[in-house]
Amino acid sequence: MQAFHVIPLYPHMMKLARRWAIATFILCFLVIIAGGVVRTTQSGMGCPDWPTCFGKWIPPTNASELPADFEKYLRKQDIDHTFNALHTWIEYFNRLFGVLLGLFGIIQVLILFKHRKEYSRSFNLAIGFLTVVILTGLFGALVVKLNLAHASISVHLFFALLLVQIQLALLLSLKNKLSVVVVNSNLRKWLLAFLLILFIQSAMGTLVRMYVDDVSKAMHYGNRGSWLAELPKAFLFHRSFSWTVLLSSVFIFWKHMTTVVKDQLLFLLIIIISNMIAGIILYYANMPAIAQPIHLLLATIAITQTVNILLQLKSRKSVI
């Protein structure tokens, strides 16, 4: 059963707004992937100043292009205290993705501005998205200033996750799919509980990442197979709790496999299984660099898909 909120139609504007919202939504994930690549390549301080990079808007490609006072920048790095063009340009492209996301956010607001009264919910979400993009960029400066302090990285990632959820809500509002599916009220409760489980698992993953950051730094970012030689309690909890995540997703799908959202629940289950496999590869394949951003991306998709289903649900006591 579905119920749609009728609002005035502006075909050309809505078509453009929806396409732009989809593009912006995809770009959010690209930004998260870029951030994951920065982390797994230890390129976070590749540009040790902000908003410039070694005092330039376009960073150097070799040591000969460094400014005369380049040593004051290199002292901020915690990797090798020497200029590394690869690290510099990986971080630079990460920043460019952030700037591009901000530009997309501005254009999104402008597209909806003319019809902000008719589409007030969508416009307000667009404003919220742009605000969080700006805050994320400003907080990025703090991350650099704090030399990649653990807490700052975690907050920066939280901002990125928040951006995805806001853009998702905006996209659904433009498609008239916010709270349109009526289902058993228990499904909403289960999904809210499952979302809490995902956040707990993500928090444990963040603690594992902090531990790995410290160990890898002590080993000068080499010998990846030894980074988890001494298993911290956070990792043991994270690994064991993954079964809670998996079994919960299986239960929710099995319990509601006859509802209209069965395909979306199946997709959620597939993502959970895929991420569990990525975690197994990380541990047993000696922390391959490519698996780290994939693990982060899949976790983000799992949270986003759960929120996606929740945003489309209306509850009632009887089963459809």
Q: Note the pLDDT of residue 126.
A: 96
Residue among 207, 197, 204, 205 nearest 303 (CA): 197
| Averaged pLDDT, 94-112 | 94
pLDDT at 192 over 50: yes
Question: Which of 9-23, 82-96, 217-231 has the least mean pLDDT?
Answer: 217-231
Contacts of 129 (CB under 8 A, 6+ apart): 24, 105, 108, 163, 166, 167, 170
Q: Which two tokens stand for residue 191?
A: 């999904």
Share of the chain above pLDDT 70, in %: 84
> What pTM value is reported for the model?
0.84
Mean pLDDT to the nearest integer, 1-26: 73
The radius of gyration of the chain from alpha carbons, rounded to an integer in Å, stands at 22
Structure-token pair, residue 194: 């499952």
Compute the distance between CA of residue 10 and CA of residue 12 in angstroms, rounded to an integer.
6
pLDDT band, residue 1 (cuts 50/70/90): very low
Over residues 68-72, mean pLDDT: 75
For 155-178, what is each residue's pLDDT tens digit?
878 888 999 999 999 999 988 777
Between 142 and 150, the more confident residue is 142
Tokens of 311: 């945003």
Q: Where are the domains of the chain?
A: 10-177, 179-320
Q: What is the pLDDT of residue 180?
A: 72
Over range 90-116, report the average pLDDT: 93
Phi, psi torsion values for 184, nearest 5 degrees: -55, 130
In this prediction, residues 83-101 reach a mean pLDDT of 90
Q: Which residue has the higher pLDDT, 169 or 214?
A: 169
Given a cut of 80, whether residue 318 has pLDDT beyond it is no
| pLDDT attached to residue 93 | 92
What average pLDDT does the chain have? 84
- Give the CA angle between residues 23, 25, 30 to the nearest 5°: 90
Are 2 and 180 contacting, i.e. CB atoms less than 8 angstroms apart? yes
| Chain segment 282-304, per-residue pLDDT in tens | 888 887 878 888 998 999 999 99
Residue with tokens 């890898």: 216
Is residue 59's pLDDT more than 50? Answer: yes
At residue 76, does pLDDT exceed 90?
no
Q: Which of 75-84, 193-202, 293-302 has the lowest mean pLDDT?
A: 75-84
- In this prediction, residue 10 has a pLDDT band, given cuts at 50, 70 and 90, of low
Q: For residues 17 and 168, what is the distance between their CA atoms, to the nearest angstrom?
A: 13
